[in-house]
Amino acid sequence: MVPLSWYLILSAILFCLGVSAFLLKRNIITIFMAIELMLNGVNLTFVAFANHWHKLSGQVFVFFVMVVAAAEAAVGLAIIIAVFRTRETLNVDRVNLLKL
Amino acid sequence: MTVFLIAAVLKIVLVVFLLLTGVAYMTWLERKVVGRIQNRWGPTRVGPFGLLQPLADGIKFILKEDMIPDSAHKGLYVLAPALALTMSLISIAVIPFGETINVAGANTALQITGVVHPAGPTTDINIGLLIILGATSIGVYGVALAGWSSNSKYALLGSLRASAQMISYELALGLSLVGVLILAGSFSLRDIVDNQSGNWFGFIPHWYIFPQFIAFFIYLMAAYAETNRIPFDLPEAETELVAGYHTEYSSMKFAMFFMAEYVNMITVGCVATLVFFGGWHGPHLPGPALFQAILPVIWFSIKIFLFMFLYIWIRGTLPRFRYDQLMAFGWKFLLPLAIANVIVTSLIVALRG
Amino acid sequence: MVHQVLFIVFGLICVAGAVNLLVQRHPINSALSLVVVMGALALIYLLLGAEFVAAVQVIVYAGAVMVLFVFVIMLLNAGAEEQSRGSHVALWLGGPGVALLAGLIVYLMVRNQRQFNAVSIGNLADVDKGSNTNAVANLLFQKFLLPFEITSVLILIAIMGAVVLARRES
């Protein structure tokens, strides 16, 4: 038997690793992937609690989180492509002025 | 529990061995049939009727020099064919070949992931069909990474086109199966086949091809595009992009891509048989008990063989689509048709009560 | 026992993938380690009895969203990232901040461990009618119908936005 807190601790570790990757990395796409990692950690919490309280609403909410993450990934990557076309760089430190 | 594990390991070994032998002899069949369609013999020299040709090809692949281009990303270069082959082989684990058989006193299901209950029907994974779709989705990585890690422009273009084609047709593939799922009510492959037993008027079987012929048509075309076969094989055509995403691959790694493509074809044939043609159900033939025990597997194999023959026949007959025609066909024709099929099927099922 | 071993194995794969995402310099390696994390998470969802969510995670998240990431990395031909540092504030405040957050959450979980019962493999909720998929579908189309319709409109807007933003000026 695995205590529920183990699942929650794993989810917290994934979330915190996502936050650190978000703060430490300099490539826009990698920062975006760190956001996806955070969302995955939160999904794990939802599913773990759905199992714990025997309510399936947690799993349905995971479904919605995935859909929103997919929509956000599509639009975000389109923005990154548009930024790359003008700035020719993916380094987030060089995209710091509104003027080209 | 240990009986289940031992039976599972034996089944895995047997099925993988049979599958890889089947793949090897499919290459022989393809060369022979395409040769005959093109009014020539095909392989005839190595062994009677060229039957040892796959063996000779295998020896050639093993002994050929294994090159890795200098500027390739080595880790991904080696990972891509292994990923493609692994994902193709995973789908076989959930495919049922028949009912249970009794071997040495133990009942075991003719399916790697099937569980026999002492008092009750055989069950298998609840989400069997979704696992096959999932393995197909991850298989796209093999193609995408192969082209990119080769660090060559033909390979990159070919792999981008191939993976864009594969993810576009995955939608039509999944949606075409939804019609059958509405009728069957379950994702489990064994349940889908069990719902197709029985006949109308004594001889027309309850197969899902009859209500869902449009879905079968969509599934077949989407599957041809998924497995990168003619008429959708622009990404790997020799005359177009050198050889597409496997331009820079040689010997064993190329053989792994080759095997992955044929295993995918066999999986598509298996799923089409299970979902649309009643799986292992067939007319009852008289015979001894051993024959009756393996009769379902024989019917299943005959149906898969017919699908493979259809693949090879179409390869020898049709020209290939241009890339923009291919994408337009997938997005503008197959996808709306699949959605319309789902709507009509669910309306009819809902109105019937 | 088997449950604990399986959970520890998959959990370690998850954490190793996440650490690899942090450590790798080339974005394609980070993308592939994120795919590994998602695959291991799908296996953990199977342990928690959420089979439909596990399948959707593999098909949609690992098999479509991450393919999109890999495509963009391949198209833009992003090389290994340089070690430029804009401002050090993120590092000096963020590092200890994240460690503090992680430590706080772990401490709270361990302290409240008695209130959280143990999880056993695969047991689930309300599966009186059919499988997990049936139950999730019933919930999705009856109780959560409005969010479902709104998310479909959201996806439509996202498609239009992505097409408009990524188009070349002609």
pLDDT digits (tens, 9 = 90+) for C111-120: 877 766 666 6
pLDDT band at B239 (very low <50, low <70, confident <90, very high): low
> Could you tell me the two tokens for B6?
């031992």
Residue B240's pLDDT is what? 61
Residue A11's pLDDT is what? 93
Mean per-residue pLDDT for A67-85?
92
To test the contact with chain C by mutation, choose from B124, B125, B138, B191 the residue with the greatest count of C C-beta atoms within 10 A, namely B138
CA C101/CA B268 separation, integer angstroms: 48
| Percent above pLDDT 70 for chain B | 97
Q: Could you tell me if C73 lies within 8 Å of chain A, comparing CB atoms?
A: yes
Partners of B126 on chain C (C-beta within 8 Å) are 51, 131-133
Residue A33's pLDDT is what? 95
Task: Search chain A and give the residue with CA nearest C43.
Answer: A44
- Count Cβ atoms below 10 Å from residue A94 Cβ, excluding itself: 14
The answer to whether A78 contacts C11, with C-beta atoms less than 8 Å apart, is no
Give the torsion sign (CA, B25, B27, B31, B33): positive
Partners of C28 on chain B (C-beta within 8 Å) are 73, 76, 148
Partners of C58 on chain B (C-beta within 8 Å) are 134, 137-138
Residue A94's pLDDT is what? 81
Entry pTM: 0.91
Q: To which H or E segment does residue C110 belong?
A: helix C89-111
The answer to whether C50 contacts A47, with C-beta atoms less than 8 Å apart, is yes
Mean per-residue pLDDT for C64-76?
91
For A8-32, the pLDDT digits (tens) are 999 999 999 999 899 888 889 999 9
Q: Residue A10 sits in a domain of what CATH number?
A: 1.10.287.3510
Residue B228's pLDDT is what? 86
Residue B243's pLDDT is what? 64
Q: Please, do chains B and A touch (3+ CB pairs < 8 Å)?
A: no
Flag whether A99 is in a domain: no
Q: Could you tell me if C14 lies within 8 Å of chain A, comparing CB atoms?
A: yes
Alpha-helical runs (H) found in B201-334? 213-226, 251-276, 289-317, 323-328
- Count Cβ atoms below 10 Å from residue B56 Cβ, excluding itself: 14
Flag whether A94 is in a domain: no
For residues B24 and B109, which has the higher predicted lDDT (pLDDT)? B24
Q: Which of C39, C55, C64 sits opposite B167 (nearest CB)?
A: C64
For B33-78, the pLDDT digits (tens) are 999 999 998 888 888 888 888 888 888 888 888 888 888 888 888 8
Highest mean pLDDT: which range of B15-29, C106-120, C128-142:
B15-29
Partners of A38 on chain C (C-beta within 8 Å) are none
For C145-163, the pLDDT digits (tens) are 999 999 999 999 999 999 9
Task: Search chain A and give the residue with CA nearest C44.
Answer: A44
To test the contact with chain C by mutation, choose from A15, A19, A33, A91 the residue with the greatest count of C C-beta atoms within 10 A, namely A33
Helix, strand, coil content of chain C in percent (nearest 5): 75, 0, 25
Flag whether A98 is in a domain: no
Mean pLDDT of chain B: 87
To test the contact with chain A by mutation, choose from C38, C70, C119 the residue with the greatest count of A C-beta atoms within 10 A, namely C119
Distances (CA, A) of B306 to A58, B25, B280: 45, 14, 14
Number of domains in chain A: 1
> Running DSSP on this structure, what letter comes out for residue B322?
P
For residues B127 and C35, which has the higher predicted lDDT (pLDDT)? C35
Q: How far is B156 from chain C (nearest CA, A)?
A: 9
pLDDT band at B160 (very low <50, low <70, confident <90, very high): confident
Range in C30-39, C57-66, C103-112 with the lowest mean pLDDT: C103-112
What are the boundaries of each domain within chain B? 2-352
CA A52/CA A55 separation, integer angstroms: 8
Partners of C91 on chain A (C-beta within 8 Å) are 23-24
CA A41/CA A46 separation, integer angstroms: 9
Partners of A63 on chain C (C-beta within 8 Å) are 53, 56, 136, 140
Task: Search chain A and give the residue with CA nearest C107.
Answer: A9
Flag whether A96 is in a domain: no
Task: Search chain A and give the residue with CA nearest C96.
Answer: A20
The answer to whether C60 contacts A21, with C-beta atoms less than 8 Å apart, is no
Partners of A67 on chain C (C-beta within 8 Å) are 151, 154-155
Complex ipTM more than 0.85, yes or no: yes
State how far Cα B40 lies from the chain centre. 28
The answer to whether C116 contacts A94, with C-beta atoms less than 8 Å apart, is no
Domain span at residue A47?
4-87
For A18-73, the pLDDT digits (tens) are 998 998 888 899 999 999 999 999 999 999 998 888 888 999 999 999 999 999 99
CA B215/CA B339 separation, integer angstroms: 10
